[in-house]
Amino acid sequence: MPIPFSILRCFDFRFYANLVFDFTPATLLTIAFRYSEIIRNYRKAAKRA
């Protein structure tokens, strides 16, 4: 059973907020890209369900 998206989103937000002062622009770009992939995959899974 996949992790509920709201829990994942909450975890991601806390995780990123804790580290935000260590981020470089490149890191932020990487995270934004990976986060957009997570959202895309979630939408695909929601359509299949």
The pLDDT value recorded for residue 13 is: 72
Residue pair 5/42 in contact (Cβ under 8 Å)? The answer is yes
Does the pTM surpass 0.85? The reply is: no
The string of pLDDT tens digits covering residues 1-49 is: 565 666 566 667 777 777 666 667 777 788 889 899 999 999 998 888 7
The pLDDT value recorded for residue 3 is: 58
